[in-house]
Chain A
């Protein structure tokens, strides 16, 4: 946040000074203004995520993001088994997310809701899953994608986002 600070002499002092200047020099003295800027850390939020989620974290966070509640230990263990047991981690992540999105109770907006306000849908998804707002270019891009292609459904968009590189990091 930019701060502005004016450093000048008081009004009485100013008047006295002006009279003095007019009387004796007929010159105008410049007022002194000092502009300062508070320290602001500018983040590119995408770049702040440098730590890879563990398998447990990935499942637990995805479940929480999709269902709005924590996953129970047994379900977590069941899903961890294949996750640990296959070398292509992204493949297993995709399988997990596709299953989550098809479970009753998954918090996925309807197509009607998405189409009614694409901008809100995109923004909400970015905030919910990636913990940030989309930048202008991202917003523009996905507005165009979703508006131009009526076959894209909310679960497809969620699936893409929840299996993106950014979602694997925190």
Chain B
């Protein structure tokens, strides 16, 4: 379907008539959470120089006291992402505790939740569920991915506990660092015919099992054919890791690569292999700021570099190039006042405990010049975390299908033509 075109209803092979989803701005969205708690002072206001030279224009030099703590990174090679879209410099995470999981929960559900729990899935449906359920026809799990740099509670963000949504509409979750360190090896070899026979025997067994099996007991479900593709992909990436490809990439030295970059590299691989319509990837290594400010500043630079590589991957992937909107935003900021920990460069560390500064973030929306307003800088306080989900829904054309009252934010229309 061409983005922006109004499509006609069509008949599925099942004979069921579907009205195609509404007009789309683009056919793909990649949402990169520049997470871990990034303060606008260091990102947008460049208090220590331009730590994000791949995203932001300007060549402000890094503060001399922390410069020795910076890793050497390749210089930007393409246009700064800021010039390829609209930058909301004063975005806000307005409500709720400024915790990482709560912030993730908000930007993925479009709802603030004051009582978010680390041990529970989101109360409200995630963007993945909204996308899969309300797109017409419904979308396969292969089309939506949630790629996280850590485990803990983050796997649970691929679908919610909402009884009207749930695992049936969840995203494929992946945490690359664990996947590339250990996949089951040397499997029995079964061709497609044998796999179908196995599936038939398993189906008979499942049909005779009388316990009420709930969908989320086994996480999300891919089709048999898609499972095969994903399995091959996971094994291939594991083999790549064994051969050292995850230790030496993007022209980086092995000892400078951090987990954020590995995570984004894996996201690139997913983009190349599956061209998903909706992919969310996060980074959180900047959270070292609780005890190491200079390490935080350095990891902002690494994350900025990773975003640039993500953009390059999108633009070099047939099917996604010039048809993808990239959204970049932190989940929350950090406190104005430091804690008492001093790093080796004499800088005090920063926590995030819900002061006003910790609610100040940014949002960059980049995309094709005929769809996204280019080089637009919005310096007023405009937009908030809950606006990202409605914006993605508008881009992918299912916003009108979401039941009224489900979302509280708005489409960030300022960024689009």
Minimum C-beta distance from A63 to chain B (A): 11
B234 CB within 8 Å of chain A = yes
Contacts of A98 in B (CB 8 A): 184, 187-188, 190
On whether the beta carbons of B146 and A52 are closer than 8 Å, the reply is: no
Q: Which A residue sits closest to B190, measured CB to CB?
A: A156
B146 touches A91 (CB 8 A): no
CB-defined contacts of B158 to chain A, threshold 8 Å: 87
| Residues of chain B lying within 8 A (CB to CB) of residue A78 | 181-182
Question: Could you tell me if B209 and A88 are in contact, using CB atoms closer than 8 angstroms?
Answer: no
Nearest residue, chain B, Cβ from A134: B208
Contact present for B201 and A82 (CB under 8 Å): no
Q: Known: A47-B210, A79-B182. Is A84-B155 also a contact (CB below 8 A)?
A: yes
**Contact residues on A (Cβ < 8 Å of other chain), bracket:** 35 or more
Name the distance in Å between B293's Cβ and chain A's nearest Cβ: 30
Q: Which of A88-126 contact B (CB under 8 A)?
A: 88-96, 98-103
A152 to B191, CA, bound (A): 12
Q: Does residue A128 face the partner (Cβ distance < 8 Å to B)? A: no
B151 interfacial by beta-carbon distance below 8 Å:
yes
Contact of A160 (CB < 8 Å), options: B155, B177, B198 = B198
Number of interface residues, chain B, beta carbon within 8 A: 50
Q: Which residues of B are found within 8 Å of A169, using beta-carbon distances?
A: 209, 211, 213
Find out whether the CB atom of A87 lies under 8 angstroms from the CB atom of B170. Answer: yes
Instruction: State whether A155 touches B220 (Cβ < 8 A).
Output: no
Q: What are 15 A-B contacts with C-beta separation under 8 Å?
A: A82-B234, A85-B175, A91-B227, A92-B184, A95-B234, A96-B184, A102-B187, A156-B198, A157-B201, A159-B188, A159-B190, A161-B201, A164-B202, A165-B205, A166-B206
Q: Residues of B with Cβ closer than 8 Å to A?
A: 141, 146, 151, 155, 158, 170-179, 181-188, 190, 193-194, 197-199, 201-202, 204-206, 208-211, 213, 217-222, 227, 230-231, 234-235
Contacts A86-B172, A88-B219, A91-B227 known; list 17 others, CB within 8 Å: A78-B182, A79-B182, A81-B182, A82-B184, A86-B234, A87-B174, A90-B219, A95-B183, A95-B234, A101-B188, A137-B208, A151-B193, A152-B197, A156-B198, A161-B201, A164-B206, A168-B218
